[in-house]
Amino acid sequence: MSDRICIGAIAGAFGVGGEVRLKSFCAEPSDIATYGPLTSEDGSRAFQIALTRPVAGGFGARIQGIATREEAEALRGTSLYVTRDRLPSLPDDEFYHADLIGLSAFDTGGVLLGKVTAVHNHGAGDIVEISPPGHKSALLLPFTKAIVPNVDLSAGRLIVDLPEDVE
């Protein structure tokens, strides 16, 4: 498990006064501003963020030290990270997406299906993407208790009960 979790991203400039458009990956989107300084992926930069208003697809935000549209635009695509110890603990049946990525996926018979390469959420629930060894196309499955009845982070694996129409 990584000690840093991506909780948002800068989508570009917002307006002409140095604000950015911020995407939050938090369960409660506005919580992104409560974790204190956020860092870039490599940890080399820190960002103190203050949300200014909701905008389509996220928030308008001010970042300390960013005063012009050009400076804000230069941050486009920057992912924002926080150390795991600053995040809330989760109940036993909930997981951070970052913890699922890289797990080995096995069917209920113990056959390796592949590795979890991504977790997507387009508004209707989480979808786990499993890349099978030797296949070109990934397997996309709902991340529900019925389809994924067991997740064992310490063993680095999850069990998938494949629907009958999936091969």
Whether 21 shows a pLDDT value over 80: the answer reads yes
Rounded to an integer, what distance in angstroms lies between the CA atom of residue 160 and that of residue 113?
9
Rounded to an integer, what distance in angstroms lies between the CA atom of residue 108 and that of residue 150?
10
Whether residues 67 and 126 share a domain: the answer is no
CATH number, domain of 126, equals: 2.30.30.240
pTM: 0.75
Give the ranges where 7-163 is alpha helix by DSSP (H): 69-73, 97-100
Whether residues 68 and 102 share a domain: the answer is no
Considering 86, 114, 144, which residue would you say is the last residue of a domain? Answer: 86
Whether 16 shows a pLDDT value over 70: the answer reads yes
Whether residues 149 and 105 share a domain: the answer is yes
When divided into structural domains, the chain yields a total of 2
**What pLDDT digit, counting tens, does each position of 115-152 carry?**
999 998 777 788 999 998 876 788 999 999 999 999 99
Whether residues 80 and 107 share a domain: the answer is no
pLDDT at res. 121: 79
Beta strands in the chain (DSSP E): 4-14, 19-24, 38-39, 46-47, 49-55, 58-63, 79-83, 104-107, 112-121, 126-131, 139-142, 150-152, 157-160
pLDDT at res. 91: 82
Whether residues 123 and 155 share a domain: the answer is yes
**In terms of residue numbers, what domain contains 52?**
4-86
Sheet strands side by side (includes 19-24): 46-47, 38-39, 79-83, 4-14, 19-24, 58-63, 49-55
Q: Are strands 157-160 and 104-107 parallel, antiparallel or unpaired?
A: parallel
**What 8-state DSSP symbol labels residue 64?**
T
Q: Which of 59, 63, 82, 84 is nearest to 74 (CA)?
A: 63
Q: Is residue 68 part of a domain?
A: yes
